[in-house]
Structures are given as structure tokens and as C-alpha cells.
Amino acid sequence: MPRGDRIWKLQRRRRPSNSPHCVAAVVPRSALRKAPFRLSGNLVPSTIHSFRLSLAASPKLKVRVGGRALLLPSRSLKECNPSSVFKCCRDVGIDYRVASDIHELNQKLDRIIEEGERLHVEPVMEDQIKLDQIRSDLDFAPDLEPDIVGREVENDCDSLIELLIKRDDIPSHPTRPSFAIIGTIGVGKTTLARKVYRKTETFFEPRVWVHVSKDLRHMTMWSGERFSKGETAGQQALLRTWLQGNKFLLVIDDVWGENVWDGLLEIQAQHGSPGSRVLITTRNERVARRMGAVHLHHVKGLNEDDGWWLLSTRAFLDENTGNMQDIEGSVIDRQCITQQWIAEGFIVTQQNTAVEEEAKRCYEELLGRGLLLPENQTYGAERSKMPHLFRSFALLQSQDEYFIGNPQDIGDALRPCRLTITTGGAEAIRNGIRKLKSLRTIILCGSPLNDRILGDIFQKFTHLRVLDLGDTQIECVARSLGSMMHLRYLSFANTQGFLVSPRGSENRNGWPFQELRSLYKLTSLKILRLERILTVEDAAQSALEERQHLKELELCSSTDDGTTEISRAAQIKDVFEALKPGPSIVSLKLENYYGHGFPSWLDPFHLRELSRLTLHGCLHCQYLPSLGQMKNLKFLAINGSNLSTRIGHEIRGTPDDGVAFPKLEQLVISKMSNLKSWKGLEKRDMPSLMNFRICGCPKLDSLPSWLKHCMALRSLHIDRADNLEAIENIPALKELEVCENNKLKVISNLGKLENLKVVACLLLDVVQDVPLLRTVHSNEKNSIKLPQWLQPEKPFMLRRLEIVGTEELLDSCSSATAPYWPVIQNADHVYANLPDGSFYFSYAKSSSYFHKSARNLARSSLQSSASFSVPILPQAELVSTDEIRNINEPTGQSSSRSWMRMLFTVLLFVAAHIFSLSSEY
């Protein structure tokens, strides 16, 4: 084989001839009225994917664009790919460059071989290759004991073991994995699984550790002193003999796909005795769910203190060098980025696969490989960040196609395909884009716009596929938008919003509902001001039940005076009944629905695929439907109901398998002014609940008793529950945040609690029986005293203590002789800020040093004796506790120099004051 052929073989995936190149969304009616954008025929409507509609005073519709990313249809179903000629030319250039790179790489390899021969370097022998393979096997071995950074590992290990040996809702003969450890690459999944494997020796026999190659051809197994590696077929038979009739723990490490389980290891796992368990590690949550895992454990990254410790020890840095700063890029919204991929034609699907599903899979692949880092996904957010290093590399590689900044700075040699405008005035933008001819994407990040700029964009860049006008001050859209026949993605997110009528400003009747009938590929729909619909017949013309591809639906009324709402309550209920969606709905929101009783179609037997439900402002619905029977529901938010005094058995329903809310992970209850209690759930209900938020429920006097059975519960946030006096007996809880709970007095018996945040809970006096508490945030903005709960008889041994308070309070904490030093000295790290967020001091236990702001130093100088003396620094000083003790001891110096020290103190205070003023500006 020629030497060059052993490097790579290039393959290009072409778009199938029958795959749609048109993804779509909403455009102004005035633009679509212009031919060929007619909604009456069968041209464009079949390709439109996303809409946002608003009803005006008449029963007809008007378009309302704003606050949401939308997509635009192509010119015609019959057109060919509009960029095919350009793409073919570009592909030739890309192929040529790649071939040149490969040729250059081959030449380098030839030179390396020649240099090796000259230096008498022997090639790698087969024995060495086998040795390398053995070393690779050791990387997957369960007995490898790496350096462990992060103290959460031990706590997570103990929690998992407790669940493994105590949970009684796991099948005795497992036909599916019991537990899954999920996290991005390098976060510590395998490390955690190894600790669980080693510490369960007395509970399971045997313990078997399995690793299957990505291509499923080879399997490696460890169990005690036994080790076996070979082809998967032979290894399965051996695995059965190891598991047969035993109470085993089977750990499957680094699972890439559910096919590792289905038809392979699942069969062998059926031969164990009652009490056997299966644990997998994977980067992909979807894989774990498809394998049927009943408990998901998400491994978090290092916290700030552990991260700084790792960096300082490995890089030999002084721990007092300073505070870490976040240098990662902007937050990426999953839905926004995947829609842009689709619009640009990057997503190629196989038969019977929706393009949105394939885009989501690609996004999850980036997460799994660590190229994107998930942001906090509490309460339904799907966002991520790209690490700064990767982002810089991506920008470097795409610099010939992508430009960010002022378009006037684009050189004559650069011809970008994608432009993000971040700086520059209106005319600079207009002049800068005038010379560009190859643009496919324009993103205006809040850039100044005027009619001339928009007109230039609409008329000149008719080949654009992506146009993002988000965060701009746009107020109207010209009819020339209709000339952008190839546009697939159009965003007016976070704009002021505007109305566009089909026949110009003089005619504002809007769209009839029946025009939705032709949009049979619609995937996302939001309808506003539904109270303006005059008849049920008008609503029925939408035929939403026939929209088989519709996944996301928001039905919204506007708030009105109480009298009008009561008079129209019966009518609005009938209207919502007529807007019955099909069973394909995944996400549903009802906003400001003031009918008496929910629509009959809000039913678990009709909405079988529903995973996200928001009920906002449903003021006149006293009882909730049987939401507990919705088997796929993962997110539930109930906001703004002031009639229900309790949530009872009705919400649970009668689930088939006896478990209500089997997949619910996030629960939000807010602005329910009359809610006093929530009862009716049973011990096995909500087994997957991880995050629970209670906000604005002033009459709630106790937490639901069923919370103590939620063994997956990780985070609890309680805000403005003014009647709540105690939070106790929630054994699985790890993170607790309480804010402005006026009667809260006791936090007790939270055995797994690690993080506690308390804001303005003035009566809180006792925090006890929290043996694992390691991080505390206390915010008493106007208090001059440290809260009593932070001063127990047996002090907390904290890793991190954050205090927000007045200068008087923080002064009482900022030295080794301060009144609250007994509290400060028991924390590894202390960070103190003023109510406005400005830094005041920090303390590191390992070095016994205080890092103080100039403002703190100045106040300390005024409050200390005349012998107090420290060197002046521009902003802050490092002061050890020993120095502070010595500073406050009399020095016996002559009084003749006292006035000089006093003058120095005054000057220091003045300098600090000037600095604080300058920092404000």
C-alpha cells in the first residue's frame, strides 16, 4: 500500500436527493403576502416549522414577532438547493486544501522515517504494541487508584451505595440498569464508579467490572483476581458463569450506546439472584434513559475552592495569588444553535429521522466530548458554554469564513460567509457590509439599526440563510423582507415586538385561523391574546389536532380586569377546548387561562408524550388534573393561582404501576397566595425529582411530608414562604437556599446537606444535624451582627464561608482578634462582600492570611491604636493573623512621633476614600 494511503481516506456525505433543505418559521404577513409567499396554495406552507401569532381586536390574526427565534420558509418546494453551485465550487477548494495538507503530512512522516533510520531508531515491535495494549487495559481497570481532587466524591459515593443497597423499588432480578453515573468527559465518572465498586465488597458477591469496545467487538472483564479479555461473544458466556445465581454488582464503564445493554449484557444480567444491581457510566443521559436506568447521578465539576487548590498545587502557585475569574464564553442556547445549524444545511438526516432530532443528537455529542460544557440546568434551562481554549481554536480555524466585530474593519482579502456585528455605528455597519458578497449568516448583537441598513440587508443579501435581529431596537419590517427567498432562520428575540398586517398599516385585520391548516409541518406555535376570539368556530378552524409534527404549544390570554374575566370565563374555556392539540405535544404552556376548570384534553391519556408543562396564571382553576399519571413528564411549573388552598390526591391520580410522576425531575410552585399544604403523594412517588422550587407562597406552613422519600432530591429553593417555621427531615437534600422567609426558625436533620444559602431570614436561630455541611452563604444586608445560627456550640467545619453584610459586621470578622474570629477560623476559605457586591476581605486558613480591600484597611486603621502601621498599597494588602495580633500590642514608641502616625492614618483613609469613589465611576 502506498505510504500516503495508510493515513486517512476522505469520505464526503452528500445530502440525499429527497431530504428537505428548507426549515422554517415565521415572517411578517406583509412579506408573505408578496408572491410567491402565498398561504392559500400548496407552495410554502408545507415547509413552515415555527410560528408565533397574536390576535388583535378582530377574530382574525395578526403576526407578533419578538422575544423568540423564528424560522423562515424557502421560496418553493420545487426549487433546487440555492447554494448548490457555490457549495460545489467551495467543496472543490476544500478538497484541494485537505489533499494538500495530507500530502504535506505524508512528507513529514517520510522525513521522520528517514531521520529514524539515520539515528538507527528501531520501529515499534509487536511485543511493544501488546504491552501498550495492556497498559491501555489498566486505564479501565477498577482497582486503579488515581489522585482524587474534590471532597464531594466521598459523599457521592456513600449516597450511591446507600441507594444501591437500600432502595426497595428496584426489580430484584434486574432486566435494566439500576443506576447511571452521567457527566462530561474527564469529570470523574469512572473515578466515582471505582470507589463504589471497592466499597461494596461486603454487599455484593461477585462484583464484576466490564468495559466493551465502542464497536462492540471486544469485551474486557475484571472480578476480584480474575481478568478476561476477548471477543464479545465468548466473553458473554464467561460473564454468565460469573453472575449465575449470585447477588452481583455489575459495573459497565464508559457506555457509548444502548446497544451495549440491549441483546448483550441484559441477557446475562437476568441470571442473578434477588438484590443484584447494575451500574453504568456514560456521557450521554439519553443513552442511560434508553437503557432504562431508574436513577441518574450527575457528576458535577470541581467547585471554585477545589479547582483553585488543584491549579495552585499542580502549578506551584501561591494560594493567595488572587481570586479565580470566569473566562469562558457566552452562554449558548441549545434550541437557538441547533436551529441555525439546520438553517445552514449542516444537519444531514437518515430516513425516518427528524432533522430537529438529529441536530439535538449532534449537540449532545458535543456535550459528551467536552467541547461544550453544560450550564446549570435547574428548572428546565438547556444551555452550555464553550471552554475559552476551544473557542479560541474554533475562531482561529474559521477565520476565513467567520468575522466578529465592526464590519468596516474587514480587509479587502477577507470574504467571510458568516458575520457577527458587535461594534460600530449605523453608517459604519452599512458601509462595511456593502462590500461583502458571500454572506450566509448575519447576527446583529444589539447593533444600531435603521431602515436604510435593513433595506440594504433585505435587498442585497437575498441568499442569506440566517438573520438574527435579536436585542435590536427594530420597530417595523419592510416588505422587501419577502425578497430573501432562501432565509431559513429569522430571529427577533428580545426586541420590543411589533405588529405587521398583510395589507399595510391601513388594514390591520390580520390572519384568519384557517390559514394554519396548510402548515402541516409546523413544530412550534405560540398564540397570544386568545381572549379576543369571538366564537368557538373560529378557534376550531386552527385544526391543531391535525398537526402531527407540532411539538411545542403556548396558548396565552392577556390579563384583564376581574369583571371582564368572569363574564368571559365560560367562553374562554370553550375556546381552549377547541384548540385541542394532537398527542405529539412535548411542551405545553397555558398562560392567563381564566376558565373554570382545565380543558378536558389536558389529560395523561391524550398527552402521552408531554415532558414539559407550565400552568401560569390559571386563577379560577381550583383543582389540578391528574398530572401524576403523565409518564414522561420531566418539568412541571404551577405559577399564579390564588384559589387553591391545598393540593391533594387529585393531582396524583391512579398510575398504572403505582408510581406517580415517575420521571419528574424539576418542580416549581410559585405565586400561590392561598396554598397551605400539599398532601396525597405516596412513598414511591416522584423517584426522579432533583430540583424543587417554592416561591411566593405566604400561607404555606409546612413542607410536603413526601419530600423525605424523594431520594434523588438534590436542590431545594424556598423564597418568601412567610408562614414556614421549619425545614427538616429531608435525608437526600444536598443544596438548600432560603430567602426572605419571615418566620423560619429551624433547619434540622438534613444528613446529606452540603451547601446552604440564607438570605434575610431574620428569625432563623438554629441550624443543626447537618454533618456534611461544607459551604455556607449568609446574607444579612442590614445587620451589624453575625446570625446566631452561624455560631453553634459545636462549630461548623466549613470549606467555604461567604458573608454579605455591613461594614460594621464585616469589621467584626476581619482579623484574628475580631469578635467573630471563632467562626472565621474554622473555615478553609472566607469571602466577605458589602451589600453592593464589592469585595471587602477574604481569608485563607492554610496560610493564615487576610486579603483586605483598601476600604477595609482604612477602617481598620482608624479603629486601631496609634501604633498601627502598614505599608500603603493601591487597593489591598495581605495581612497575616500573627501580624494583626502584634499590631494591636503597645510598642512603647515616643509620643513625639504619634502625630506623624495619626497623619499617616488620615492620609491612608483619604486615599482609600478617593479610590472607592474612582472605582464607582
Better pLDDT: 526 or 47: 526
Tell me, what's the pLDDT at 611?
92
Contact 403, 410 (CB under 8 A): yes
Helix (H) or strand (E) holding 134: helix 126-140
Query: Please, are residues 310 and 148 in contact by the beta-carbon 8 Å criterion?
Result: no
Q: Give residue 137's pLDDT.
A: 58
Percent pLDDT > 90 in the chain is 19
Instruction: Give the closest residue to 527 by CA, choosing from 56, 67, 55.
Output: 55
In the beta sheet, which residues pair with residue 247? Answer: 205
829 φ, ψ (degrees, to nearest 5): -135, 135
Cβ atoms 497, 528 nearer than 8 A: no
Phi/psi class of residue 680: alpha, beta or left (left: φ > 0; alpha: ψ in -120 to 50)? left
Q: Does residue 405 or residue 570 have the better pLDDT?
A: 405
Look at residue 746 in the predicted model and tell me its pLDDT: 95
Give CA separation, 353 vs 140, 349, 359, 632, in Å: 34, 6, 10, 21
DSSP run (H or E) holding 68: none
Across the chain, what does the average pLDDT equal? 75
Residue 379 or 371, more confident: 371
What integer pLDDT is reported at residue 91 of this predicted model? Answer: 60
- The residue that leads in pLDDT, 761 or 275, is 761
pLDDT of residue 574: 85
Query: Of 368-377, 407-416, 781-790, which one has max mean pLDDT?
Result: 781-790
pLDDT value of position 27 = 35
Query: Is the link from the previous residue into 206 a cis peptide, with omega within 30 of 0?
Result: yes
Residues 19, 81: Cα–Cα separation, whole Å: 11
Query: CB of 333 within 8 A of CB of 218?
Result: no
Alpha helices in 369-487 (DSSP H): 388-397, 426-434, 451-460
For residue 159 the three cell numbers come to 449516597
Q: How far apart are CA 238 and CA 207, in angstroms?
A: 14
C-alpha cell at 589: 404552556
Least confident of 69-83, 752-766, 804-818: 69-83
- 460 to 434, 463, 538: CA distances (angstroms): 8, 8, 40
Spatial separation of the C-alpha atoms in residues 562 and 560, rounded to whole Å: 6
**Whole-number pLDDT of residue 544:** 86
pLDDT at 149: 63
Residue-wise pLDDT tens digits, 773-828: 999 999 987 888 899 999 988 889 898 999 999 999 999 998 888 999 999 999 98
363: cell is 449537540
Q: Are 708 and 731 in contact (CB under 8 A)?
A: yes
At 256 the pLDDT is 85
Per-residue pLDDT at 500: 41
Measured CA to CA, the distance from residue 183 to residue 299 in angstroms comes to 5
Q: What is the CATH number of domain 137-310?
A: 3.40.50
Torsion of CA 38, 40, 45, 46, to 10 degrees: -140
Please determine, for residue 36, whether its predicted confidence score (pLDDT) is greater than 60: no
As a whole number, mean pLDDT of residues 310-338 equals 67
Enter the DSSP assignment of 790. G
Which one-letter amino acid corresponds to residue 391? R
Q: Please say if the pLDDT value at position 381 is more than 60.
A: no
- E strand or H helix at 838, and its extent? none
Q: What is the pLDDT of residue 24?
A: 31
pLDDT digits (tens, 9 = 90+) for 77-102: 333 444 444 455 556 666 777 888 88
Taking residues 178-205, what's their average pLDDT? 88
Confidence of residue 320 (pLDDT cuts 50, 70, 90): low
Report pLDDT digits (tens) over 136-165: 555 667 776 666 666 678 878 888 888 888
Q: Which residues contact 90 (CB under 8 A, 6 or more apart)?
A: none
For residue 379, what pLDDT is reported? 52
Mean pLDDT value across residues 711-725: 92
**142 Cβ neighbours under 8 A, 6+ residues apart:** 193, 194, 197, 198, 207, 209, 222, 251
Among residues 840, 818, 843, the alpha carbon closest in space to that of 830 is found at: 843
- Say how far apart CA 823 and CA 800 lie, in whole Å: 12
Q: How far apart are CA 291 and CA 648, in angstroms?
A: 33
Quote the pLDDT of residue 141: 73
- Pick the closest to residue 857 from 911, 818, 819 (CA basis): 911
What's the pLDDT score for residue 97? 79
pLDDT of residue 679 exceeding 90, the answer is: no
Total Cβ atoms within 10 A of residue 876: 18
Where are the domains positioned within the chain? 137-310, 332-389, 774-860
Helices (H), 555-650: 562-578
Q: At a CB cut-off of 8 Å and minimum separation 6, what does 306 contact?
A: 149, 150, 151
Helix (H) or strand (E) holding 829: strand 827-833
DSSP per-residue string spanning 351-366: TT--HHHHHHHHHHHH
pLDDT digits (tens, 9 = 90+) for 862-917: 765 433 333 333 344 445 444 444 444 444 444 444 445 455 455 555 555 544 44
